Structure 1
Amino acid sequence: MKVGEVICQVSLHTAASTSERIAFHTINRATGHRVERQFVDGETGEPVERDEQVKGYETGPGDYIVLEPEEVAAAVPHSDKTLSVEAFVACREIDDVYFDKPYYLAPADRGAADAFRLIRDGMRAKKVAALAQTVLFRRVRTLLIRPYGEGMMATTLNFDYEIRSAAEAFADIADIAIKDEMLELAEHIIRTKKGKFDPSTFDDRYEAALADLVKAKLEGRKIEVRKEPVREKTVDLMAALRESAGMKTAAARKTTSPGKAKARSPRRKAG
């Protein structure tokens, strides 16, 4: 990591991983053997060996410019493994839509610890993040680096051309004036559901269901088909808000109401 003339040897660690997810293989139902993936010619149907597979850019229907492996390798930037800081910015300046993948950034060895702490603590004191560039997986990537606990967090950023227009996504949202009563009811519902972010409370129900399915198959148990919850269609938004607010208020009273206080036993006087 290079900041001006300050150089700090750092190591990049993946902060998020999918290795714990259940993985499946494709097998032949008839034989139980694993199926192998094979590339075939789209016209002849004949298998194409790896040495004969090249990249191509389509210029027209059925017309391609062939790019040889050495040509692609020559065009791709070489990684010099330098994380060059281009600028320091306020964290709020970066729109969350640009965030891609998080990495942990730590000193590569004890000799780099002092320079690492100097950069980290300086950024924390000024409440800024660093914009840096490096080559990751043969692509030049921009990273947003922020102090994070005892280390730092480096988040790869999407390029501007990769971000879809929000205006297009929201184009069909009608501009309707919300009545004060409706807004007050909505605010009331939000207040009753106020909480704190705790990632440990969020369950990956899909992974849990797959794990239960695999376990049931291994144990030879009958697979129970889960019934879909009945969902009632709400036509009147105002009625839905009132009903939801009423339910939340009743639930709040039930959990916070102390009920009838129990009579305390009189204290005995010391004899």
Structure 2
Amino acid sequence: MARAIWTGVISFGLVAVPVRMFSATREHEVSFHQFEKGTSDRIRYQRVNERTGKEVDYADIVKGADIGGGDHVLLEAADLDAVAPGRSRSMEIHQFVDLDEIDPIYFQKTYYLAPGSEETVKTYMLLRDAMADLNRAAVATLVMRNKEYLAAVRADGNLLVLETMYFADEVRDPKEVLDSVPRRTSARPQEVRMASQLIDSMTGPWRPADYRDTYTDRVNDLIDAKKAGAEITPAEDAPEATNVIDLMDVLRRSVEAARQRRGKGGRKDSESRRPARRSASAAPATKDASPRTPRGTGRATLAEMTKADLSVLARKLDIPGRSAMSRDELESALSKARGQRRQAS
């Protein structure tokens, strides 16, 4: 069994739920050592006192904060723990938000939260089930490894899952990073429709097991080939950028190729995808939120619209779970919403 990397309590209101935290992911990169080129001599790193030149044991190393002028404030682990003795074992919930509201750019790493003990399973299940029914995530903070983390706690099946997140000031503004931010262009309607068809033809249910780290496989094959003295086959070069003049032709051929691949593999079952749990706070459709035909689609019926067009209408109606729906599920949900609107009028 894995060892918990953090134990403490989730607190909201006057309720405290003991939990244990376990890492939910692991890396599978190839491990390398470093050698001096042309030799079999390993490269080693040592912690050395720059004044004496002698190696220092890790247990004898403390942290120092630069305060300018070559001076530092030295802090030991006990000093850092002293500023938040309770918080290092407490995860405080500040607010509950709709799970769909959190931009994925804020997510860092995923952890499983398990009940603290058999005696506390009931309170754990209570929090888990309540959040699942409402499609809510708990926004919390905790101190772990001498660092405060922002976190989102959500229900996932029988478990509570914690996502550590970046604070707002840790997310960089693209205007400060990129030379220029692309602006909207006036693409031709037929190009937009063709691009939507390509996306729709490549849309299917999310199956994580369908994807594999092929680069790591190639690195392992490279190691085996060099070990056996075999010839190494280089990978293909990246494709060149598509010429804008040939864009329509490339899109058309891409759509045809995607449809042929889907035809060979059989139509993917849209029913295998579960729509996201409906939020209890989602408001029913009203006259003010009536579906309108997206720009460029005329008076097209739902059956004639692409998935992209249906998604636009679903967003205007604030249909819950729309991001996880297939095209058929979107059409069904919109048809139901229109029916409710007619009955209300």
Task: Give the structure-2-normalised TM-score.
Answer: 0.63
SS at match of 1:84: strand
1:109 aligned residue? 117
| Aligned positions of 1:162-173 closer than 5 A | 162-169=170-177, 171-173=180-182
Preserved CA contact (<8 Å) 1:56 1:64: no
2:73 aligned residue? 67
1:263 aligned residue? none
Picking from 200, 215, 218, the partner of 2:209 is: 200
Gaps of 5+ in 1: 258-271
| Aligned positions of 1:89-238 closer than 5 A | 89-169=97-177, 171-218=180-227, 220-229=228-237, 231-235=239-243, 237-238=244-245
Q: CA distance change for structure 1 residues 178 and 4 in 2, over 3 Å: closer, same or farther?
A: same
Q: CA distance change for structure 1 residues 128 and 247 in 2, over 3 Å: closer, same or farther?
A: closer
- Bigger shift: residues 104-113 or 240-249: 240-249
Separation of aligned partners in 2, 1:143 and 1:225: 45
When Rg is computed on C-alpha atoms for both structures, the one with the higher figure is 1
CA-CA distance at 1:254 after TM superposition: 7.6
CA-CA distance at 1:168 after TM superposition: 3.6
Preserved CA contact (<8 Å) 2:109 2:163: yes
Preserved CA contact (<8 Å) 1:182 1:238: no
Matching residue's letter, 1:23: S
Which structure is richer in relative contact order (CA contacts within 8 A, separation 6 or more)? Answer: 1
Deviations 1:62-119 (A, max 9, x none): x433121339934864453112222212112322211111111111221111110011
Q: CA distance change for structure 1 residues 33 and 168 in 2, over 3 Å: closer, same or farther?
A: closer
**CA RMSD, Structure 1 to Structure 2 (Å):** 3.0
Q: CA distance change for structure 1 residues 159 and 72 in 2, over 3 Å: closer, same or farther?
A: farther
Deviations 1:3-32 (A, max 9, x none): 2222222110111112x3211111345552
Name whichever structure is richer in helix by fraction.
Answer: 2
Separation of aligned partners in 2, 1:222 and 1:111: 60
2:251 aligned residue? 244
Matching residue's letter, 1:157: M
Separation of aligned partners in 1, 2:61 and 2:130: 53
Separation of aligned partners in 1, 2:245 and 2:103: 34
CA-CA distance at 1:132 after TM superposition: 1.5
Paired positions, count: 249
Gaps of 5+ in 2: 1-9, 265-345
Matching residue's letter, 2:251: S
Task: Give the structure-1-normalised TM-score.
Answer: 0.78
The sequence identity of aligned pairs, in percent, is 23
